[in-house]
Amino acid sequence: MTEGATWHADQLYRAHLHHLRDCPACGRDDACPEGTRLRQAVRAARLAADVRTQG
């Protein structure tokens, strides 16, 4: 299960990087709801993966 959690976090991180590259608002450091949502999702997924490995 840990590998699945890590894989999920990695996929979200990749999606976030693609969004940052393609989003004009994020490029200007403006508020972007999608960028914020992805950043929070990556953070939560990384935390969940860390908890599972320590678990």
One digit per residue, pLDDT tens: the chain, 55 residues? 468 889 999 999 999 999 999 999 998 888 899 999 999 999 999 999 888 777 6
Report the amino acid identity of residue 32.
C
User: Residue 13 and residue 37: Cα distance in Å, rounded?
Assistant: 12
- Quick one: pLDDT at residue 52? 73
Domain ranges for the chain, please list them. 2-54
- Quick one: pLDDT at residue 3? 81
- Quick one: pLDDT at residue 27? 86
CA angle 26, 7, 47 (to 5 degrees): 70
- Quick one: pLDDT at residue 2? 62
- Quick one: pLDDT at residue 55? 60
